[in-house]
């Protein structure tokens, strides 16, 4: 519901203090936001994908071009104004990210109708799997994801939810098939931040009372999949912008999309962590090379198979 243009500014060194000026810095821009990142990677995996939410009329062209480039069906509902622009400022050994508010001028009066329009458009694509991800604009009700989970489950979809705060807590009540909080986001859901193996397993057990499958990401260490840990391979980190989104997309593709055999949780998890780790080597959420994902996964690729 709140896509973004992700910009990465790379500084040659860490800032020394107030008022410092860097000249001729490198900057790259990519179309992103969690849902766009997920859709783009699923399309590269060979899935048939539609993507929707809210998109500003003033700068929708880069999004239209990006979705068309990856053959993702554009089902966004256009609204007045411009889509937000986020910035990641990096330097050797450090980084800071600036996330702007999505559609601050969007009035509350029409938000309900816009939400219904988004769900209606996405349903028209007749999906097998719905991935609901990202923050909500200020005027969109916190129970949007709860309604969306219920809606897509009612039409036979398996539903993955990747959100935080109150929208995530309310969305859990609708019992999605898969959720992906990070360790810090667990505090609002289970009352504590997992630190060690037993904590992660206990958090998973509590969350599985509401969701069939639980992924808890643990930063650069790796991620926990239904209580089992998969360590992240070592990579040279450039930008973590789309790492979690790529991990989620790869897992959904591996675990939900293949129909020739029962889903393999461990294999799906290993591919997911490899994809998320590879994404860290790219600036601004750009997709990583397939060959790197395959190498990090340590196995032959099944990319492009429809299953």
Q: Kindly tell me if the per-residue pLDDT of 301 is higher than 50.
A: no
Contact 230, 270 (CB under 8 A): yes
| Residue 260 scores a pLDDT above 70 | no
Is residue 71's pLDDT more than 60? Answer: yes
User: Is the pLDDT confidence value at 304 over 60?
Assistant: no
* Contact yes or no for 272/178 (Cβ under 8 A): no
What's the pLDDT at 284?
74
Confidence of residue 217 (pLDDT cuts 50, 70, 90): very high
Measured distance CA(222)–CA(274) in Å, rounded: 9
Q: Is residue 304 part of a domain?
A: no
Q: What is the pTM of this model?
A: 0.87
Residue 102 counted as domain residue: yes
Using the predicted structure, report yes or no on whether residue 129 has a pLDDT greater than 50.
yes
Kindly state whether residue 306 falls inside one of the protein's structural domains.
no
Q: Within a domain: residue 57? A: yes
Q: How far apart are CA 130 and CA 128, in angstroms?
A: 7
* 129 within some domain: yes
Domain count, the chain: 1
- Give the mean pLDDT of the chain: 90
| Structural domain containing residue 70 | 4-14+25-297
The CATH number of the domain where 88 resides is what?
3.40.1190.20
Do the domain assignments include residue 101?
yes
Is 255 within a domain? Answer: yes
**pLDDT at residue number 259:** 58
Residue 302: band (very low, low, confident or very high) from pLDDT cuts 50, 70, 90: very low
Name the band, by pLDDT with cuts 50, 70 and 90, for residue 207. very high
19 in a domain, yes or no? no
Q: How many CA atoms lie within 13 A of 258 on its CB side?
A: 18
Query: For residue 154, is pLDDT > 70?
Result: yes
Q: Could you give the CA distance from residue 305 to residue 263 in angstroms, rounded to a whole number?
A: 15
């Amino acid at each position: 519901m709140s896509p973004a243009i992700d910009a990465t500014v790379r500084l040659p060194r860490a800032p020394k203090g107030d008022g410092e000026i860097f000249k001729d810095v490198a900057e790259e821009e990519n179309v992103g936001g969690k849902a766009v990142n997920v859709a783009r990677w699923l399309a590269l995996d060979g899935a048939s994908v539609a993507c929707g939410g809210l998109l500003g009329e003033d700068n929708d062209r880069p999004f239209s071009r990006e979705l068309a480039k990856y053959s993702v069906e554009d089902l966004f509902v256009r609204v007045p104004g411009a889509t937000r622009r986020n910035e990641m400022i990096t330097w050797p050994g450090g980084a800071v990210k600036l996330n702007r508010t999505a559609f601050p001028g969007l009035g509350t009066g029409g938000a309900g109708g816009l939400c219904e329009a988004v769900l209606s458009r996405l349903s028209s694509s007749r999906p097998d799997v719905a991935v609901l991800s990202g923050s909500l604009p200020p005027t969109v009700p916190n129970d949007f994801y709860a309604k969306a989970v219920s809606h897509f489950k009612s039409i036979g979809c398996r539903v993955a939810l990747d959100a935080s705060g109150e929208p995530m807590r309310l969305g859990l009540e609708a019992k999605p098939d898969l959720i992906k909080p990070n360790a810090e986001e667990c505090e609002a859901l289970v009352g504590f931040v997992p630190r060690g193996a037993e904590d992660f397993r206990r958090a998973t057990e509590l969350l599985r009372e509401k969701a069939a499958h639980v992924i808890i990401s643990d930063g650069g260490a790796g991620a926990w999949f239904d209580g089992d840990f998969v360590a992240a391979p070592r990579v040279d980190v450039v930008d973590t912008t789309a790492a979690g989104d790529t991990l989620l997309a790869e897992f959904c593709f591996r675990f939900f999309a293949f129909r020739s055999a029962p889903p393999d949780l461990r294999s799906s998890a290993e591919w997911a962590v490899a994809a998320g780790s590879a994404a860290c080597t790219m600036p601004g959420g750009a997709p990583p090379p397939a060959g790197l994902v395959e190498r990090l996964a340590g196995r032959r690729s099944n990319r492009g198979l429809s299953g």
